[in-house]
Amino acid sequence: MPFPMIRTTLLSLTLLFGFQFESEGMDDTISFDKALPIGTWGELQAQYIRIGPPIDYVPELRTIPRGINWRFPGWDAVRMRQFIEDSPLPEEQKQSFINRVREDPEIQGLIIKPSEEEVLNLSSAARRWIYNELASYRVNRMHEKAFRYAGTSIDDWMYGIELSSSTRTLLEKLVYRNGNLMFMADTALLMKHIDSREEQREVFRALTREKTMLVKLRISDQSNIKKLSDYWGRGARAKNVYPVLESLKNRPGDRTIDIIHLLPPFARQHLFMYPDVYAMKGADLGKLDCHWSTYNFFNQGSPGPPLKTIEVKHYFENNFVAIQAADLRFGDVILYVEKSGKLLHSAVFIAADIVFTKNGSNFNSPWMFMNLDTMSKYYGRNLDLDIRCLRPKELR
């Protein structure tokens, strides 16, 4: 059975325990409290927060320098020369990199091994140009899996940390930006130049932070509780959602509820949490990715086992129908597919422009809410993606 597919664009989709929550001191480009568009989901209010992993996870995240390699699988000399010539590098540096190009039989392509000094001295524009391309290839793991944060300032990302002047200067050099997202791929190089072990630990923890949000549903005298229950209670849960929403409408004073209480059990139990590295086996820990999270979203019992790649593909092919982006409702799925057919990412639509997602299988990646626009920049830096909007067949 062919994949259910309606191709849309990134633009059309732009419609506590041991971890750290922060909301103060964020940059002014994103307000702390934001009213979201009103729709069938009701009236929502979002409060942006930062979330970081438990401090005892940080030693496990230590990065060991292994040399700097830029790999370009399948590239030939002509393509490489054109890529460098078109880049925003200074002319003398362009020629230096061209002279450093070598064949790499292991990837049937080319490799450049820049010096630390050359990497440190890249301009922000040049770093973005080169690293966005490198991130397209899994072999460049530090670029593909670069730390990223939805914000525009180092102060926002590193909020609450007393940075030394040398570390701040280095961060400003090494961080590059794509829209409203900041990226850090040269983590090993950064750690090498931070003298204090404690500062290394704090900076590394900050790099793993994500910007997410708390979301509340506001009930008013005009709220249609039946319709709200039908929306938030998809998946045969309306009878469970209706009583609490009705009780809010019938009380005086504040009538808001955090939507975490309206989520199915799996999503409610995992939101803002991190995989338990101490309770799980390493092999399974690395498989708790976005697709596993999508698969289990409506699960009422214990989460299903991690899925193999072919099982993920069959799951989406056999259990969903394609819909238009404008028809997205609670529990529908947004799927990012590369031209090769590789399933890059999946997330569950919640309401307005919010999705439930886990960005990668790393144990320093939490389950969280994310804006659609931010997610599109998170994954679509340099890729031509098919973005498919899918609805579970049982919810048609």
- Whether 153 shows a pLDDT value over 50: the answer reads yes
Distances (CA, A) of 19 to 16, 149, 208: 7, 17, 11
- Condensed to tens digits (0 to 9), the pLDDT of residues 341-378 reads 889 999 999 999 999 999 988 778 899 999 998 998 88
User: What is the structure's pLDDT at 24?
Assistant: 39
Q: For residue 250, what are the contacts with CB-CB under 8 A and spacing of at least 6?
A: none
Q: CB within 8 A of 363, min separation 6: which ones?
A: 53, 57, 60, 274, 275, 277, 285, 288
Contact between residue 131 and residue 183 where contact means Cβ atoms under 8 Å apart: yes
Give me the sign of the Cα torsion angle 283, 286, 290, 294.
positive
- Give the residues across from 49 on adjacent strands: 212
Find the range with the poorest average confidence among 43-47, 64-68, 139-143, 335-339.
64-68
Q: Give the model's confidence band at 307: pLDDT under 50 very low, under 70 low, under 90 confident, else very high.
A: confident
Q: Which of 27-31, 315-319, 370-374 has the lowest average pLDDT?
A: 27-31
CA distance 83 to 73: 14
Confidence of residue 33 (pLDDT cuts 50, 70, 90): confident
Residue 20: the pLDDT is 42
Burial 98-137 (b: 16+ CB within 10 A, else e): eeebeebeebebbbbebeeebbeebeeebbbbbbbbbbeb
pLDDT value of position 190: 94
For residue 8, is pLDDT > 70? no
Contacts of residue 391, Cβ cutoff 8 Å, sequence gap at least 6: 320, 321, 322, 323, 327, 329, 332, 333
pTM: 0.84
Q: What does the pLDDT average to over 131-151?
A: 92
What the block records as the tokens of 204 is 């590394």
Residue 11's pLDDT is 33
Q: Which amino acid is at 369?
A: F
**Other beta carbons within 10 Å of 198:** 9
Residue 224 has pLDDT above 70, yes or no: yes
CA 61 to chain centre: 18
Q: Between 282 and 325, where is the model more confident?
A: 325
pLDDT (average), residues 238-248: 95
* 68-72, 151-155, 380-384: least confidently modelled range: 380-384
Tell me the percentage of the chain whose pLDDT exceeds 90.
65
What radius of gyration do the chain's Cα atoms show? 22
Report percent pLDDT > 70 for the chain: 87
